[in-house]
Amino acid sequence: MSRFSLRYASDLGDGIYAVDTGYIRPQFDACYIITQRAPSSERIAVIDCGTPHSIERILTTLTDLECQPDQVDYIILTHIHLDHAGGAGQLMQLCLNAQLVVHPRGVKHMIDPSMLKAGAIKVYGEEVFTKEYGDFQSIEAHRVIEATDQFMVNLAGRILLCIDTPGHAKHHITIWDQMSRGAFTGDTFGISYREFDTEKGAFIFPSSTPIHFDPKALRASLKKIMLYQPEWIYPTHFSKIGQVPRLYQKLTEMLSHVEDLGISMKKVDNRHELLKIGLLNLYIQELRDQGCQLSDSKIDQLLQLDVELNAQGMGVWLNALQT
Ligand SMILES: [Zn+2]
């Protein structure tokens, strides 16, 4: 239980709050608020910020936490996909003391989002883009910090360590918080929806969305995260999960299945549709092994968007494979 009355967020302990950004459906997309006590006032870091529509929920949560936007020192992006970074420009305009922390490869796109917009329109189509991400604001260059590997964000003495973790995206960092022994992994450490939790634990699968999916790099990044021996993972999709060694094992197994599926279909006709069927079957089989009781059609409904985007990203990966 939190001592605060939170309308859109849950209290995860250690001064960490998960805000449900409202993107797509409840418990789909999170961003995190970290609060740290300081002599004058609490200082705040926000990790990821959803889309432009999510900003109101972040502000509401700050109010619920009895904080002001000017207490936000850092807005840290795990990567610049728009369900994580789309609202960053708006939030920066409201949090006047904040600096944006982003992977070196993401910097220019946050200052001039035109290429990012064009890329997103290619993935989502013009109509969805305008509806979900239309009001994408640029950020002034002097407010942007490049988070190179091992860059330390100092939030009133609480160190948030930025680790370069490519594989899902080349512009991806994971943020290690020693205080909670937790890793804010964006999409690198897979996707895990709470609807699928069973008594055996959480269901997790790798995200292979376009255009940088690289299983080898992803595997190396997962190993790198495990070196810190995290007790908790805070993925964007969705919220805090424990039993990390088990999750790691499940995730790497699933990644091998995804790779095998892709390679077996590299040259077939109608590849995209077959990849979608193959991915959904893979997810359903794993869910059944874990004792998930939801119907196939409910699982299909909950995973439809992931299946579509993961198959698209696998297509990009397979096209780039030499053999
Ligand atoms: Zn992503």
Q: Please report the pLDDT score of residue 49 as a whole number.
A: 96
Helix (H, G, I), strand (E, B) or coil at 124: helix
Token digits of residue 16: 């960490």
Q: Please report the pLDDT score of residue 323 as a whole number.
A: 60
Rounded to whole angstroms, the Cα distance separating 216 from 31 reads: 27
Tell me 166's DSSP state.
-
Q: Please report the pLDDT score of residue 1 as a whole number.
A: 67
Residue 72's region, left for phi above 0, alpha for psi from -120 to 50, else beta, is beta
Cα(168) to ligand 1 centroid in Å equals 7
Token digits of residue 228: 């810190």
In the chain, where the domains are located: 9-251, 252-320
Cα(81) to ligand 1 centroid in Å equals 5
We find that the CATH architecture of domain 9-251 is 4-Layer Sandwich (3.60)
Cα(86) to ligand 1 centroid in Å equals 11
Cα(83) to ligand 1 centroid in Å equals 7
Rounded to two decimals, what is the model's pTM?
A: 0.95
Q: Please report the pLDDT score of residue 132 as a whole number.
A: 82
Cα(174) to ligand 1 centroid in Å equals 12
Q: Please report the pLDDT score of residue 305 as a whole number.
A: 92
Helix residue ranges per DSSP H, the chain: 55-64, 82-85, 88-94, 107-111, 114-124, 126-133, 215-226, 244-264, 271-289, 296-320
Q: Please report the pLDDT score of residue 116 as a whole number.
A: 85
Q: What is the pLDDT along the chain (323 residues), one digit of tens a residue?
A: 678 999 999 999 999 999 999 999 999 999 999 999 988 889 999 999 999 999 999 999 999 999 999 999 999 999 999 899 999 999 999 999 999 999 999 999 999 998 888 888 887 788 888 888 877 899 999 999 999 999 999 999 999 999 999 999 999 999 999 999 999 999 999 999 999 999 999 999 999 998 899 999 999 999 999 999 999 999 999 999 999 999 999 999 999 999 999 999 988 999 999 999 999 999 999 999 999 999 999 999 999 999 999 999 999 999 998 66
Cα(169) to ligand 1 centroid in Å equals 7
- Enumerate helices (H) and strands (E) in the chain, giving the number of each: 10, 12
